[in-house]
Chains A and B, each alone.
Chain A
Amino acid sequence: MIDHLLQVENLETQFKTPDGIVHAVNGVSFTLNEGETLGVVGESGCGKSVTMLSCLRLIPSPPGKIVAGEAFFHGQDLLKMDPEELRHVRGAQISMVFQDPMTSLNPVMTIGKQLCEPLKLHLNMTDQQATNRAIELLGLVGIPRAGERLKDYPHQYSGGMRQRVMIAMSLACNPQILIADEPTTALDVTIQAQIVDLVKRLRDEMGMAIIWITHDLGVVASIAHRVAVMYGGYIIEESDVKDLYANPTHPYTLGLLGSLPHIEEKVHTRLFSIEGMPPVLYKKPVSCPFAPRCTFVTEKCWQENPKLETVSPGHRVACWVDTKSGSKR
C-alpha cells in the first residue's frame, strides 16, 4: 500500500428516518496525500458532508450509522479506534471548520476561552501559554488588536471574522488534515475571497492537507489540487483539478459546469439545465443514481450501477457511456 495520509475504503453511512432508511453514503473510497487539497463537490444531500463526518465518527448515532468501510489515518482505522484515542486525533491531528460560524461558536463564551480550550486539552498548555498562543493564532488569521479582542464574545465579531476565528481554532494544534465543510458559503464574495486566500497562505506555511467541501465549482477551482464530484452518495468523477475543468467526463459534471453562467459571456446563451432533481435514496440504487436525469442514459445504466474506472491517468469516472463520443465504454 502506498503511504496515503488518509485512506478511506468503501464507506457506507445510513440514516434511519420515519420514512425509511436513507442511504446517504454508498461506498465511497478516496485518498488524501500529505499537503494535498482535495475538493469535494456536490449539491445538497449528495453525501459530501456525511462522508467526512463519518470519517471522524461525528455522525449523530442514532439515527445515523456507519454500516461499512474503513478510514485509515497513519495506518490506524479511525472507524474502529477506541473512543478515547479518537479524541486525541479529532481537533488535534484532524480538525474541522464548519459552514456557519455563528452556530459553531459558543455564544456565551469569550473567543479567548474557546480558543484556549483545544490548546489546554490537547497540548496541556498552562493558562498563560494558551493565551499567548491564542493571541498568536488570531494574529495569524488576520484579526487586528488580537489581545483585546480575545475578551469579546462571538456576536461582537462580523461573519468573516468569526470564520477566521474558526480557522484559528482548527489550526490551534497544528493539524495534519483540515476538513473545511462549506467554510465560505455563508459569506459575501469579497469576504469569501479573503478566507480562501487566508487558507491558501496558511496551507503553504503549515503544510497541512485540506479537504474542502463545497457546492461552488468556482471556489474549488481556486483552491483544490484534486476534485471529487459526488452524486447520490457516490463519487462519480475524480480527477486532477485542471483535467476536471478541461475534460469533464461524467454527464453530471458536464451538466453542473454547463449550468454555470460564464462571467466573460459575450453573447447571451441559454443556460444548460439538468432537468429533475437530486434523489433521496431510500434504497441502495441498482441503476446509476444519475440515470433519471441523464441525457446520455442507455439500457445498461438502468441495470447496473457503474463503478469508478480510470479513463486517463489520474482521472476516474463512474459512467457506462463515453460522453465524448457517445458510445459505450
Chain B
Amino acid sequence: MENEKNTLLKVDNLVMHFPIYRGVISRQVGAVHAVDGISFDVKEGETLGLVGESGCGKSTTGRAILQLYKPTSGEVYFKGKNLVKLKSEPMRMMRREMQMIFQDPYASLNPRMTVRDIVGEPLMAFGQASGKEITERVADLLKLVKLNPDFASRYPHEFSGGQRQRIGVARALALNPSFIVCDEPISALDVSIQAQVVNLLEDLQKEFNLTYLFIAHDLSMVRHISNRVAVMYLGIIAEIADRDELYVNPLHPYTQALLSAIPVADPVYYEKNRRKVLEGDVPSPVNPPSGCRFRTRCPIADAHCAEVQPELREVSPGHFAACLKV
C-alpha cells in the first residue's frame, strides 16, 4: 500500500565530508566522513525513522537534505526538484515546504525574542502576513500546539522544556510545510513530557498530512512513531525496512546488537533474555575502517569483510541491508 504513494523526497548517494585543516597555510589534511554515500526515499505522509549512535551522521543527513550544509556530492530530490542544483532564491522559496525541529529546546529559541516574534518570523520572512495578521496567525499556531495563545508576549525562559519544544513545533508549522526534519526532538525532555510531544507530532501529522524524517537514538520511540526505519552506522545506512519487519526480523548484525541493547522496562525480560553486548567503541569517522564499517565490532566478521564494502541490497521486498553475510 505504501508503494502507491508518491515519493516526496529522494536522496541519492549523498556524501557529506567536513574537511580538516592544519598548519600555517591551513592545508587540508583529511576529512570527517560524516555521511558517506547514502540513498533512500521518503513517501508522502509517512514517517521515516533514522536511528544510530552519536557520530553516525544521522543529524548531518537531516541538515544536508535541507541544504543547511552544502553536500560534498550526491543529489537530493524534493518534489522532483534537485535541491543541490537550485540557485539560492528558488532554494529559499523551497524552504517554506521543508522545516526542522531541533533537539535542544533551549538553544534553538532566541532568548531575546518573544514567542510571537519567534513563531511569526517565518511569516514575516516570506511576506505572508504583517502586523495584526501575524499576531492572529501566531495565536492559531499556539492553539494548534496546545499552548495558551496569551503566552505570545512571553520570552522562552518563562517556559519549561516541553513547552519550548512546542514553540519550536509551532514555528516549524508557520509556513504550512509538507516535510519536517525532526532532529531528536524529544531527547532533551523528561519521560512524561516526551509522550506529550510525540502525541502532538502524531496528531499534527494526521491533520496536515505531514511527512517526517524522525531522527533519534531511542529505538523504542522510533518504533512507535515511524512507518519505516533506517539504521545508520558511521556514515552509511546499514539497514532499512518497514518498522515491524526491522524490529522483528533484523538482518544486519549492528541492528541486532542495537535492538538487544535497548533497555526494556520489564525486569522479567532480563531473566529470560541474554543480551548481545557489542564490544568496543565506534571508530573515528576521520579514518573509517576499510571494507565494511562495522567489521571492527562485528561478531561475525571475517577477512572478506575487510576487503569489500557491502552494498545496500534488497534482501526481501522493501527490506534492505548492507552486510556480506546476509
Contacts and interface: CB of A to CB of B under 8 A. Distances in A.
B277 A194 contact: yes
Contacts of A160: 281
B244 to A, nearest CB: 7
A275 B162 CA distance: 11
A271 B263 contact: no
Per DSSP, are chain B's interface residues mostly helix, strand or loop, or mixed? helix
B287 interface: no
B113 interface: no
B150 interface: no
B199 A221 contact: no
Interface in B34-73: 53-54
Interface of B: 53-54, 160, 162-163, 190-196, 198-199, 202, 217, 219-221, 223-224, 244, 247, 257-270, 275, 277-279, 281-282
Contacts of A122: none
A43 B221 contact: no
26 contacts: A43-B190, A160-B281, A161-B281, A191-B53, A197-B275, A219-B263, A221-B263, A221-B266, A221-B267, A222-B263, A222-B264, A245-B265, A257-B265, A259-B194, A261-B198, A261-B220, A262-B220, A264-B247, A266-B244, A270-B199, A271-B195, A273-B195, A273-B199, A274-B195, A277-B160, A277-B192
Contacts of B258: 189-190
A242 interface: yes
Q: 3 closest Cβ contacts across the A-B interface?
A: A218-B263, A261-B224, A259-B195
Contacts of A263: 219-220, 223, 247, 259, 262, 264
Nearest to A195: B277
B190 A278 contact: yes
Given A190-B261, A197-B275, 10 more contacts: A43-B192, A194-B277, A219-B263, A221-B269, A259-B191, A260-B220, A261-B223, A270-B199, A273-B192, A274-B195
A264 B265 CA distance: 12
A277 B196 CA distance: 10
Interface string A192-222: 1110110000000000000000011111111
A265 B266 contact: no
Interface string A233-252: 00000000110011000000
Interface residues of A, number: 47
Contacts of A272: 195
A44 interface: yes
Nearest to A184: B263
Given A190-B277, A215-B191, A263-B262, A242 B267 contact: yes
B275 A260 contact: no
Contacts of A193: 260-261, 263, 275, 277-278
A91 B85 CA distance: 60
B265 A217 contact: yes
A270 B202 contact: yes
Nearest to A255: B192
A165 to B, nearest CB: 14
A241 B267 contact: yes
A82 to B, nearest CB: 39
Which of A194, A261, A274 gathers most chain B CB within 10 Å? A261
Contact of A245 (B193, B196, B257, B267): B267
A256 interface: yes
Contacts of A245: 265-268
Contacts of B54: 188
